Amino acid sequence: MNSLTTSAFDLPEHLAAKGDEALVGDDDRHFAAITASLERQIAELTERLVQARRRPGGKGQAAMDRDLEVHRLTDRLRTLSRFGLDLCLGRMVHADSPDGPDGPDGPDGPDGPVYIGRLGLLDQAGRRLLLDWRSPAAEPFFGATHANPMGLASRRRYRWTLGRITDYWEEVFSTDGTGEAGTLEGHAALDDQSAFIASLGSSRSPRMRDVLGTIQADQDAIIRAGSRGALVVDGGPGTGKTVVALHRAAYLLYADPRLRQRRRGGVLVVGPHQPYLVYTADVLPSLGEEGVQTCTLRDLVPESASVPGAVDGAEEPAALVERLKASARWVEAIDTAVRFYQEPPTVTVTITTPWSDVRLTADDWAQAFDVAQVGTPHNEARDQVLEELLTILEEKFANVLVGDPDGDGYEEIPPEQLRAALLRDRGFRGAFARAWPLLDAPDIVADLWSVPAYLRRCAPWLSREEVGALRRADSRAWTNADLPLLDLARQRLGDPRSARRRRQQASAAAAERERMSHVVDSLLAAEDDYEGAATMLVGQDMRDALVDADAFTRTDPDLLAGPFAHIVVDEAQELTDVQWQMLLARCPSRSFTIVGDRAQARHGFTETWRERLARVGFDEVRLASLSINYRTPQEVMAQAEPVIRAALPDANVPTSIRASGLPVTRAAVSDLESILIDWLDGRSEGTACVIGTADFQPSERVRALPRVQVLTPTLAKGLEFDLVILVDPETFGVGITGAVDRYVAMTRATRHLVLLSPSDLPV
């Protein structure tokens, strides 16, 4: 867009009056300045990025600083290029600004309208063009209401379509109608909900649409809450819980230095399933946050790839087994199982060396095992124990002299030769491997399900009948219920390959030092008088400095291993006690945003949030509630509310604030294809979802239709669609689980809900 000659406003004919120069002229002039600044900054960032990439990588901290600079410049450039002018969300006029009713005499008011952006932006002279939406000064733009205008005279929000403004809304907070508000009367809507309500009727897309410009006051207050402890965001369908969770992640990364300074492990977002991650994938990047890790609970466990079912996974066939495996007490069981392999030998082991035999007694083993630091994973502590054993053996050889008494006499055994001999000795290596073995998480958990005596020892609270119920013929036929236990075991054991990698890296570094030593010796031999730069190479420290030790220690980090400074959990009402342990192990600070609805818990949720979270290990819990349903039309909620109240009379059902004008439709299952085709006919945007049980198999033609998904109630959770079709909802189940699945499925609709029954039943 030509920043000097083309208006940013492209209003439809029926809104032409809102494009009057008196109303939008100041905005266009400000947008011209924004455009010029964006063009300049993009050019500068592009050049700086080119220069940073050309700069030599260097070593150690220098290499890390260069990589961080490239990453920072890339993120900023990507965000500026992603949006352009629509970085601007809107503007606000303070009551004491020159344009406000109390100006120009207000002593503290800003000079004119303040424009709010996804990012902060300055012009070349340092004048503020956009105020970052996360800054404290921007809070009134989201939080002001008529009851509490927070010092504002007016607020304007823009609707952007393909880089142009196709509508805007002016909210006037002053009561006397002075200032610009007076000129807007009759042209712009003055309802403080108009911007948001108008956006609710827009068509959905396969990705969550951008809603930053219409964040409401109740949502913004939660987004800006501090990060200390656990904040629970409780709300029913359509209250914007997911919006709050994701925007809160972006806000905390901006406002909390503790999160921003973490080079890795800042914020983790945990969603309920893969369709949710796909649906929300654009939200954080659109807020300028490219580096946030997002995953499902299954993604935290490598063994999940072997669990049948690409998304849902295998469920336990017996409800008793599923309930038993959900307990948080498996933390104790796994810890006991690992300690079983950390009991020092009680027998003496004789080690053979070229010089003499030496004995490792029970006391020696106990002394070595005691050095393993508390909290160190088992496989990583192995090196600590081995080092102590070698030290003990060195002390035993301290008084052993070797040599030729008829020649130069005796001398002490060189320590490096002794260590090399010990590590070569099969007897020593075998004894140590048996005493402190390398362990894999699958081995630990599989043994629990295949060896009853071992399970009773590790989990003494289980009855004999419960131990029998947990036993299975194929102990490695993993189910979803096994995944948290595998994760706990992995956390307790550490990587069994880490010690091997460290030894290989140390060996490679030693070989490189030896090679460089030969190179240095050759250089020195070429200098007869040891003068010149080569004389600097005589010292061993300088020789060692020539070896890049980092080159032998770089491994690809497990980005989901943590620890994280803050974790966001969506649909948290579904987590079992042992699944909470997976997340607590990755966030020692207990800093969480927990988003959920107790009425949407498929297996019931009889406790309060505080009771539930205190039981699993949280010590500081705050509660925030969302009660307004912005998404689901009143027509749909009128049908959905009785469904959930029949099972949960005290369910926190939110109040829907809008109507779609489309009543809930009932039809036969055989009508599914024609309903979808009629809906798609002449419709270029919007999404539909067919929700049925896992047994429902639609026709190939239905599966091939554009903008139509087929999901189970579980996989539809957290998503939204213009049209939702439920296939025989009575088959979703009975009791609380069935009622929750029907309630969740019905409330995915933002416009129209269709309920299909078998064709042989009345509709």
% helix, strand, coil for the chain, step of 5: 45, 15, 40
- Helix H or strand E encompassing 668: strand 665-668
The rounded distance, in Å, linking the Cα atoms of 94 and 103 is: 9
Structure confidence at residue 461 (pLDDT): 95
Rounded Cα–Cα distance for residues 583 and 575 (Å): 10
Question: 79 with 42: CB under 8 angstroms?
Answer: no
Q: Per-residue confidence at 598, pLDDT binned at 50, 70, 90?
A: very high
Specify which residues 666 forms β-bridges with. Answer: 755
Answer yes or no: is 237 a known binding residue: yes
Going by pLDDT thresholds of 50, 70 and 90, the confidence category of residue 57 is low
Asked if pLDDT for residue 276 goes beyond 80, the answer is yes
β-sheet bridge partners, residue 252: none
Specify the pLDDT at position 418. Answer: 77
Residue 527 has pLDDT above 80, yes or no: no
Give 182's pLDDT tier (boundaries 50, 70, 90): very low
How is residue 9 annotated by DSSP? B
126 is in an annotated binding site: no
Half-sphere exposure of 22 (CA within 13 A, CB side): 10
Q: Which two tokens stand for residue 585?
A: 């192990």
Q: How far apart are the C-alpha atoms of 155 and 561, rounded to whole Å?
A: 44
Q: What is the mean pLDDT of the chain?
A: 81
- Report angle CA 387, 390, 396 to the nearest 5 degrees: 145
Three-state DSSP string of 426-462 = HHHHHHHHHHCCCCCHHHHHHHHHHCHHHHHHHCCCC
pLDDT at 544 exceeding the cut of 60: no
Range name among 33-37, 281-285, 453-457, 552-556 with the lowest pLDDT average: 552-556
**Residue 760, exposed/middle/buried by CB under 10 A (0-12, 13-18, 19+)?**
exposed
Contacts of 707 (CB under 8 A, 6+ apart): 206, 680, 685, 686, 687, 688
Among 55-64, 165-174, 392-401, 606-615, which stretch is predicted with the lowest mean pLDDT?
55-64
For residues 387 and 371, what is the distance between their CA atoms, to the nearest angstrom?
9
Cβ atoms of 67 and 550 closer than 8 Å: no
108 has a pLDDT exceeding 50: no
Tens-place pLDDT, residues 570-588: 999 999 999 999 999 999 9
Please check whether residue 591 is in contact with residue 228, taking contact to mean a CB–CB distance below 8 angstroms.
yes
Residue from 677, 666, 686, 681 nearest 750 by CA: 686
Residues 327-357 have pLDDT tens digits of: 999 999 999 999 999 999 998 888 877 777 8
540 has a pLDDT exceeding 60:
no
18 is in an annotated binding site: no
Q: How confident is the model at residue 4, as a pLDDT?
A: 45
Q: How far is CA 303 from CA 27, 221, 484, in A?
A: 55, 40, 10
Residue 92, both tokens: 């606000």
Tell which residue, 170, 177, 179, 183, has the closest CA to residue 144.
170
CA distance 679 to 687: 10
Please report, as a single letter, which amino acid is at residue 80: L
Q: State residue 612's pLDDT score.
A: 94
> What is the pLDDT confidence band of residue 61, given thresholds at 50, 70 and 90?
low
Q: Decide: 348 and 361 in contact? Cβ < 8 Å.
A: yes
Rounded CA-CA distance 60/52 in Å is 17
Rounded distance between C-alpha atoms, residue 505 and residue 523, angstroms? 27
pLDDT at position 252, please? 92
Separation of alpha carbons 592 and 395, rounded Å? 50
Residue 597, pLDDT above cutoff 70:
yes
479: CB partners within 8 A, 6+ apart: 307, 313, 314, 315, 316
Alpha-carbon gap, residue 114 to 155, rounded angstroms: 10
Do the annotations mark residue 302 as ligand-binding? no
Q: What pLDDT is recorded for position 479? A: 87
Q: Is 350 annotated as a binding residue?
A: no
Q: Are 241 and 235 in contact (CB under 8 A)?
A: yes
Token pair listed for 149: 């205008």
Residue 686 pLDDT > 60: yes
What pLDDT does residue 554 have?
40
Q: What does the pLDDT read at residue 285?
A: 84
Q: What is the pLDDT of residue 369?
A: 92
Q: pLDDT class for 55, splitting at 50, 70, 90? A: confident
Q: Give the total residue count for the chain.
A: 763
* Phi, psi of 128, deg, nearest 5: -75, 120
What DSSP line would sit under 298-342, residue for residue? GGG-GGGGGSSSSSS-PPPSSHHHHHHHT-TTHHHHHHHHHHGGG
pLDDT of residue 419: 79
Confidence of residue 184 (pLDDT cuts 50, 70, 90): very low
Q: What is the Cα–Cα distance from 729 to 615, expressed in whole angstroms? A: 35
Mean pLDDT of 527-544: 50
% of residues, the chain, pLDDT over 70: 79
Which one has a higher pLDDT value, 761 or 183? 761
Note whether 110 and 116 are within 8 A (CB): no
Average pLDDT value for residue range 722-727: 94
- Helix axis angle for 609-616 and 577-584, nearest 10°, is 60
Q: What is the Cα–Cα distance from 234 to 572, expressed in whole angstroms?
A: 10
- The 3-state DSSP class for residue 388 equals helix
Q: Where are the beta strands (DSSP E) in 230-388?
A: 230-235, 267-271, 293-296, 349-352, 357-360
Residue 406 has what pLDDT?
A: 53
58 assigned ligand-binding residue: no
Q: Which two tokens stand for residue 174?
A: 């002053």
First-to-last alpha carbon distance for the chain, in angstroms, is: 54
57 is in an annotated binding site: no
232, two tokens: 């629970």
